[in-house]
Amino acid sequence: MKEQTKRIAINCGGGYVPGLNAVITGVVLAADQLKREVVGIRDGFDGLLFPERYPNGGLLKLTPHVVENLSAGTGALLGNATRTDPFHVRQVTEENLVEEMDLSGDLLAKIAAEKIEAVISIVGPRALSILFKLHKQGLRTVCVPTSVENDVAATQLSFGFNSALSFAVDMLERVRQAAQSARKIGVVEVLGEHAGWLALQAGIAVCADAVLIPEIPYDIQKVAVKLREKADSGRTSGLVVVAEGALPQGGQRPAADGAMTESLKASLSPGATGQGGSHVIEGAGRAAQVVAHHLQRLTDQMTYPLVLGPLIRGGSPTAVDRQLGLGYGAAAVRALNENQSGVVVAFQPPDLKFVPLAEAINKVRTVPDDSVFVQIARSLGIALGNEVRP
């Protein structure tokens, strides 16, 4: 029989997501019910690894009093560690050499020295792997996954998604109104590198003319046909929602402009030279830019691309995300109380379950072909870019 956890730590691996503070609140209140102390580690694990950087200490005692008004708030109480990985911490040696060092052993020792018996980490997909490695080295941990794209495989609904969806719908309605006034086609890009949940569900909610998602490679001609038909019927504006990872059929995204110059391509080392310059890191907005560019050519209507991008990660949580966040936080404490470790809290309606970390990493929850949302979109006449025309 394992000894019961007495002092719990909580930290955040990613940036702010609506509902994050509700998770922290959920942990603190649930732990208080079990008479357990909770401390927050500032900036991921930095508060423990580098306490000297924090005038008030790297740990923050979290009581019900501290979190009383937190769950609806938008601040990052504990900070985050999007760039700090305890296995590769950049340091300067005594000989003035910059090196990346593995401080995972030091970290585990400091966790033990602080009498922290378990860590609850609110983390994105990347940090999930880091927690998996720390767990293999002996860390007692429960993870709460975050993803505003709702693409964590183990869970049906990530906290933050509902807030992002609501914001996206609000913005899309505004874009539609602007497009109608100006008689243009608005092409709006939303987050979703591998999974198109946000684009698809937001697109359905506003009855967009087309929704392009990574799971369904699109034929831009088919989207153009849909918009031309609409224009022929007298409705000369349009609204297209594009997930950032959407690609045309055939895989490679066509260039919107000159792409890379030949001289730059020629200068790359043999190991770096790819096909058509497609290997160059593409910033946000590329998907919308390309789609808007090609639609303008094919429809003789003015188009304009707009990127919601990281705006979607901000703002207050919706009621759904507040409930969900509090539920995730409370469930994480329940997991520790049940002597679980190395697990992810997953919402699998109607339950909050615990899934082993090893089963949760490297998996992305994508939109299946037979998804009810795909069916709804097709029923509403929303083009997905792969329609078979009668």
Partner 1 sequence: MNSSPPTASSLKGVVLNIQHFSTHDGPGMRTTVFLKGCSLRCKWCSNPESIYPNPELAYNLSRCIGKDECGFCLPKCRESALFNVDSDAKVRINWDLCTNCGECASVCPPQALYLFGREMTVDEVLDEVEKDSGFYRESGGGMTLSGGECQLQADFAAGLLAGAHKRGINTAIETASNVPWRFMEKILPHVDIVLHDIKLTDPERHKKWTGVDNTRVRENLQRAYDSFPDKTFIARTPLIPGVNDDEEHLRATLAFIKPYKNVVDYELLPYMRFGESKYGFLGRIYEMQDFDPPTPETLARLRSIIDEAFGRSGNRTQI
Site mask for partner 1 (CB under 8 A), range 199-228, x = bound: ---------------xx-------------
Q: Which of 56, 69, 96, 379 touches partner 1 by CB under 8 A?
A: 96
Q: Which of 57, 105, 310, 368 touches partner 1 by CB under 8 A?
A: 368
Which tokens in the block code for residue 17? 């997501």
Is the dihedral angle over the CA atoms 339, 344, 347, 353 positive or is it negative? negative
Site mask for partner 1 (CB under 8 A), range 280-309, x = bound: xx-x--------------------------
Pick between residue 93 and residue 233 the one whose CB is nearest to partner 1. Answer: 93
Q: How far is CA 141 from CA 83, 85, 108, 345, 354, in A?
A: 20, 16, 12, 11, 12
Stretch that binds partner 1, among 22-30, 220-228, 299-307, 354-362 (CB under 8 A): 354-362
Q: Does 259 bind partner 1 (CB under 8 A)?
A: no
Shortest distance in whole angstroms from residue 203 CB to partner 1: 17
Shortest distance in whole angstroms from residue 285 CB to partner 1: 13
Is there a contact between 363 and 147 (Cβ–Cβ < 8 Å)?
A: no
Pick between residue 182 and residue 264 the one whose CB is nearest to partner 1. Answer: 264
Instruction: Count Cα atoms within 13 angstroms, Cβ side, for 335.
Output: 29
Q: Does 1 bind partner 1 (CB under 8 A)?
A: no
Shortest distance in whole angstroms from residue 122 CB to partner 1: 17
Q: Does 362 bind partner 1 (CB under 8 A)?
A: yes
Which residues of this chain interact with partner 1, rule CB under 8 A? 85, 87, 90, 92, 95-100, 126, 129-130, 132-133, 194-195, 214-215, 245, 252, 264, 267-269, 271-272, 274-276, 278-281, 283, 358, 361-364, 366-368
